[in-house]
Each structure stands twice: as C-alpha cells, then as structure tokens.
C-alpha cells in the first residue's frame, strides 16, 4: 500500500530539510513525498530537492501564496494514494512511523489514525510543555495494540481538550475529499476536519506507540495568534458552532462540553502573564475568552 506524504511548506529551511529527510528514512518505503512550497522567498528548497534525485519526491512551488488553509486544500487535491499524511514542515517522523500507520490500516476500520507522539522544541530536545501534559492526561486510554473510537464519545473527548496532533495524523483520502477543510479557519481547521469526519460516521484509531516528533516553539503561527487573542476568537466561534451541530445530532454531552470549552479557557489564562509582558500581546482579548 502506497502512502502519500504531503508536505505544505513555508518557513525554516533547515527544519524543512530535517522533516523531509525523516520521511525518506522510513523503514516502510512505499510512499510518495509531495512538497508544496507556498512561495517561500528562498531558492534553496528548490535547489535542495532537485539535488536529491529521488523518484519518490515531487517538489512544487505555488505561483502565489495560498496561506496555510489554501495550501492544505491544494495538497488534498494532489493526493493520489488511498491514505495520506499532511506532514508538518518542522516535524519529524521516527523511522517506523509509516510502518505503524500501515499496520493500523490493516487492523482497524478507521478513517483517521493518531499514532503516539512526543514533543520537541526548536532545538530538537524532547520537552513536556503544560499544554502537552494536559493533552496526555485528556487523551483516551487504549490497549497496547491501539483502539478505535467513534461517535459522540470521541467528539466529547476532543471538545474537552484537543489531544490530536494534526501533522502526525494519517487520513483516508476518500473521507477527507468528501468533506474537505472548512473555509475561514486558520488555527482549528484540523480539529474541524476530524469532527466533521466523526459526525459523518467516521472512525479514529489511536495508537500508543510513539513514532512521531511534533515540534512546538514560541514563534509558531498558532503561538503568535494566541498571544494577541486571534486564536481564541476563532476557537470561541468554532466551539459555539460545534455545540449547535452536536445539538442537531442529539449529542448533548458533546454540545455541553463544546459550550464550556474549559481547556481552551484555561489555555488563555495560562498565557495572560506572557501577553502582559509582550508588546504584541492582548491581555484584554485573553480575558474576554476566559470569561465569556
């Protein structure tokens, strides 16, 4: 089974190279790596990928910047395999990532696969920030070989706290194309897609085996948007929309959890000291999210 690894890119060149190398070093070798450069102003990515001379690699450069959501949409359009990964351009696949995913595809009737993840910082050091410690507590417990989740329980669990790591997920192409990324979302588009698939009857497999490194650093787009309040404005709108959609399905527990969005509020509270110290921070926006 071939897996398409889609790599939307705009940013740090060295970290992007590390991400690409981690794909090329997989023990499971039946894959295609497709890089979608969103117009990063540096000729090095194009030069470097050409130098690889690897038939499994395709490098594409957008004529105009599409933004993160637009580049994700283009990536989905270009998928050819039955399953794909939307790889982060600063993340790292451990050598057995694809092997673990393919094994899970054969064992579970899943549409999304969440493997085990550990978090690294910008220097590649393993770290455990507060947000990821909370994710670990909230993530569902599954047997050693993994487990499958579906329906309101997984929706309510994700509304309690988003324990999924988007760049590490493997997706069934047919499911994603039938639903697609929502318009107008810059921060929670991944969670929205997961929930849309679950609401449509999809299943999510969760694996405990750690096979992926997710990079978290203070200069990420979501971190900047969090400090100035934009992230939480989007999250608040999203949670209220989800609550209404859960009500329509009769998923009362998921709807209540979405309206409360407790961990999102607590995240805003934890960022208040940094927002006060930073010139670009917006304490009032964080307080608004915390109290509304």
Burial (CB count <10 Å: 0-12, 13-18, 19+), residue 43: exposed
Tens digit of pLDDT per residue, the chain (292 long)?
Answer: 999 999 999 999 999 999 999 999 999 999 999 999 999 999 999 999 999 999 999 999 999 999 998 999 999 999 999 999 999 999 999 999 999 999 999 999 999 999 999 999 999 999 999 889 999 999 999 999 999 999 999 999 999 999 999 999 999 999 999 999 998 888 899 999 999 999 999 999 999 999 999 999 765 545 545 555 567 788 889 999 999 999 999 999 999 999 997 777 666 656 656 655 654 455 665 556 555 6
CA–CA distance, 240 with 92 (Å, rounded to integer) = 34
Q: What angle do CA 47, 52, 57 make, to 5 degrees?
A: 100
At 285 the pLDDT is 58
User: Rounded to whole angstroms, how far apart are CA atoms 287 and 164?
Assistant: 26
Per-residue pLDDT tens over the stretch 101-115: 999 999 999 999 999
Does residue 204 share a domain with residue 174? yes
CA dist., res. 98 & res. 45, Å (int): 24
Residues 172 and 271 placed together within one structural domain of the fold: no
47/156 same-domain check: yes
- Cβ-proximal residues to 84 (8 Å cutoff; 6+ apart), any chain: 3, 4, 5, 6, 76, 170, 171, 173, 176
Same domain for 258 and 150, yes or no, is: no
Q: Same structural domain for residues 141 and 254?
A: no
CATH of the domain at 167: 3.90.550.10
pTM (whole model) above 0.85:
yes
The domain tally of the chain equals: 2
Tens of pLDDT, residues 11-21 = 999 999 999 99
Domain containing 200 equals: 3-215
Q: Are residues 48 and 174 in the same domain?
A: yes
Percent of the chain scoring above 70 in pLDDT? 86
- Asked if residue 270 lies in contact with residue 255, where contact means CB atoms within 8 angstroms, the answer is no
Same domain, 14 and 94: yes
Final residue of a structural domain among 197, 215, 233: 215
**Number of CB atoms found within 10 A of residue 192's CB:** 18
As a whole number, the mean pLDDT across the chain is: 90
Could you tell me which residues are beta bridge partners of residue 210? 116
210: three-class secondary structure by DSSP: strand
Query: 213-248 pLDDT, tens per residue?
Result: 999 976 554 554 555 556 778 888 999 999 999 999
Tell me, yes or no, whether 113 and 185 share the same domain. Answer: yes
């Amino acid at each position: 089974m071939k897996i398409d690894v889609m790599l939307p890119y705009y940013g740090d060149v060295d970290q992007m190279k590390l991400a690409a190398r981690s794909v090329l070093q997989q023990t499971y070798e039946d894959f295609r790596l497709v890089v979608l450069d969103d117009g990063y102003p540096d000729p090095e990515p194009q030069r470097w990928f050409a130098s690889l001379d690897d038939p499994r690699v395709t490098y594409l450069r957008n004529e105009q910047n599409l933004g993160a959501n637009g580049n994700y949409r283009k990536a989905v359009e270009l998928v050819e395999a039955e399953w794909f990964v939307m790889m982060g351009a600063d993340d790292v696949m451990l050598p057995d990532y694809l092997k673990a995913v393919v094994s899970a595809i054969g064992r579970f009737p899943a549409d999304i696969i969440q493997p085990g993840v550990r978090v690294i910082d910008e220097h590649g050091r393993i770290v455990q920030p507060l947000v990821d410690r909370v994710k670990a507590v909230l993530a569902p417990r599954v047997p050693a070989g993994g487990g499958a989740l579906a329906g309101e329980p997984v929706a309510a669990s994700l509304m309690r706290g988003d324990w999924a790591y988007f760049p590490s997920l493997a997706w069934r192409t047919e499911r994603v194309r039938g639903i697609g990324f929502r318009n107008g979302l810059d921060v929670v588009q991944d969670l929205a897609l997961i929930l849309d698939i679950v609401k449509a009857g999809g299943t999510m497999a969760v694996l405990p085996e750690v096979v992926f490194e997710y990079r978290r650093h203070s200069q990420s787009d979501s971190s900047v948007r969090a400090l100035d309040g934009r992230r939480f404005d989007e999250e608040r709108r999203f949670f209220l929309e989800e609550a209404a959609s859960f009500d329509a399905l009769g998923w009362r527990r998921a709807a209540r959890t979405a309206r409360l969005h407790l961990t999102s509020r607590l995240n805003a509270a934890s960022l208040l000291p940094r927002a006060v110290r930073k010139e670009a921070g917006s304490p009032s926006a964080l307080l608004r999210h915390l109290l509304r």
